[in-house]
Structure 1
Amino acid sequence: MIDYKKFFSEEELIKLTQELVRIPSHKDAENREKEVAEYIYKFSKENGLEVEYQEVDGLRKNVIVNLKGEGTGKTLMFNGHMDTVPPYNMIIHPYGGEVKDGFIWGRGTSDMKGPIASMLIAMLAIKRSHKSMKGNIIFTGVLGEEEQSEGTEALVKSNIKADGAIVGEPSNYEYAIGHRGLEWIEIKVKGKAAHGGVPHLGINAISKTAKLILRIEERLMPKLAERDNEYMGPSVMNFGRIEGGSQPSTVADWCSIKIDRRYIPGESVDSVFKELEDIVLELKEEDREFDAEIIRMDNNFLTLDHLYLMTDPEDPIVIATKNALIQVIGEKPNLTRRRGWTDAALLSNFGNIPTVVTGPGDISYSHTKDERIPIKHLIDYVEIYCRIAEEFCQIQ
């Protein structure tokens, strides 16, 4: 068994994480992920790795790093998104990258610049080991995952090839082979305005929407509660936003609800919408004044549906991941069954690449006011990623 810790230092891993965190790359930052991609490109070049850009959206580019073996084995992809959510109301310096109490602190440490650092250092450790490798390793630093996943969508549309992939979302030493599909849906209910003193002359869209919500809760929610998948949990729906009307003294002539819908195998985009359409049709038949339109929110995706992830539990990438985790943490890892949507679903469904989600950090720290990542996680995951590659790409 190769001792990969001999081929990288804790200091270079921490420094790489810090430098990535110190570069803002959220949707409101100038040029968004451009400078992070340039840093990864420069870092890879300086360390003797083959690297190239993939154009996606003007100045915004994916960065692809290659570590080639003999070419007679499997190709492993490491995938990590370079963007973060904005700093919002953080109570620490979002771009400080401070080391304190065994953590690195700042926006993106956990989600997911820390995981990117562990992936890149793992590739360097393998390269420095000078061991023979039958397969190849590709790192894909992608943009836009926190928005429309433009980066990974461009990746799969380019017909990139790999036999297995790891998406490094923070996992706390667990791994996921399945997660639910995601749809954002808006339902607009139309009414008729009238003065508040004569409300009978109008049609109150807020009242009609209340009936719609109750009907969904009575008819659809119980059905969802009965649907469950072993690898991703139950089918669920959430009313995330409601707004409508103009002022207290006017009958509301419009109301909108926005829904987050997470679906599982046995369901589809079409079935998700049909179940809501059936309820709207039922209300229209009962009430001639009820008028509603169902809209698929296009800010949830670019062109590819955000389908669920389901990787065969016996696929070689799953076995290699599980074995690597056991070797490093000394016990059987937990299988995460309720994680959020990730780019793994695009790689799996549209790239035909069996994919597992596992990475350093804890998802409970992601997007928070004091985001951080344990340094121990970063170190351990360098070894975990090396051992996944050792088995999957046949390193000897």
Structure 2
Amino acid sequence: MNSFDYFELVFENWFLYLASVVIVFFVYFIVFKKYYISVLDPFTFTCFFSAMAITVPVFLFFVNEITVRLFISFVLTQLFFFLGFRIFSPIEINKIEPRKKLDIDGQEIRFIKWFFIIIGFTNVSLQLFSYKLVGIPLLAESRLGIYGESGGINNLLKRILEVTSQCYIFLTIFFIYLEHKNLLFKVYTTISIVIIVVFSVLSGSKGAFMTFGLAFFIYALYAVKWGDFSIFFTIKKFIIKFGVVALLLALVVIALSEESGNPFIFLLFRIGQSGDVYYMAYPNEIVDKIPSLNWFIGLFASPLSLFGLIPRAMIPDPMGYFIMQYHYPNIEFRGPNARMNILSYVYFGIIYSPIYCFIIGGLLSFFRNRLFYLLPSNIFGCIVYFLFLNAALKLEPDFHSSLADFINILIILPVFVFLSYYLSLRKVHE
């Protein structure tokens, strides 16, 4: 079923679709209510789109567009994901015991300043270089495929930008709230805010600026660990201001990049397309036609190739490419994300796919609920938590993107950390 047929079906059965939305959100409320902290929580943001996505199979079941066998597979995988997530207890603000007051000494502040400078300079330089090399994503026909056309240099560029952009946003927030910074860093912080807004628009992503709000929430949450509750209690005021700005920027991006008469309608359609892989794969049992291969190669081909363990030719095309070409033969190198339920069904079958989903749920819960308590109570621990959480939140909708993010963090972040640390020590010795 292609997108046109699906939305036609939704309009013809709008009451059943609304009923599906209500049922799914009620289930999510029951499962995750103890884990809810704020609207700005990245986990809440992810849960919303996850719920909108799995509304699709429920709706397809109501209109008899999915077989009972496939629907049972979907329900089992989702159920085991929920069970896996509930392994770890939620973060409870009133039970967080501050480990220490954030007291940044001279060495630490030198390190953070160098880190901010190097990350910012690298991100801005490489972002401008990428615009020259492959063009501006906002103006591209497919912003998602813009880095996939020129081989190794683009791949490396994309990996570095993924890490540095998130760090740049987070460090900008830190320096907004840092007291006693000199005039130079006040100016640098202000310029960084402008750069982040501009790059968010030029990225062509409707939700790019949301990263700023999500980073603010993580910073406010982590500040509780060092005894500063004041920032966390300003979240409600921040949400209103930030929400207006984020929405306006999203509408600007839509108006500039999409041929849509009404940006609001387009935004609603995009939210409704969160589960596009389901309506493309489940009806007519298209999912059973997706080429399968060894699950280990299928899941980990990219890092295996990166470290030279398998030839690059063995890396399979994303499942979404096959699904997209099945419905739209003329479209290449694009497709929906193979969400957890689809990916596990193809690689493990109806019997073992729930085990995979249980593991995914457990991993997500660890990085969201447990890692928070294991990392040190300083700004570097806060950055690491933010990066790993963002990577883990992709485990359900896009495993391969999540895995790539984890690898990028583990390889790229230490380079900037060691360089910043070296420069901060060098200043002392001089």
Normalising by the smaller structure, the TM-score range is under 0.3
TM-score of the pair, normalised by structure 1: 0.27
Give the structure with the higher percent strand: 1
Name which one, 1 or 2, has greater alpha-carbon Rg.
Answer: 1
Give the structure with the higher percent helix: 2
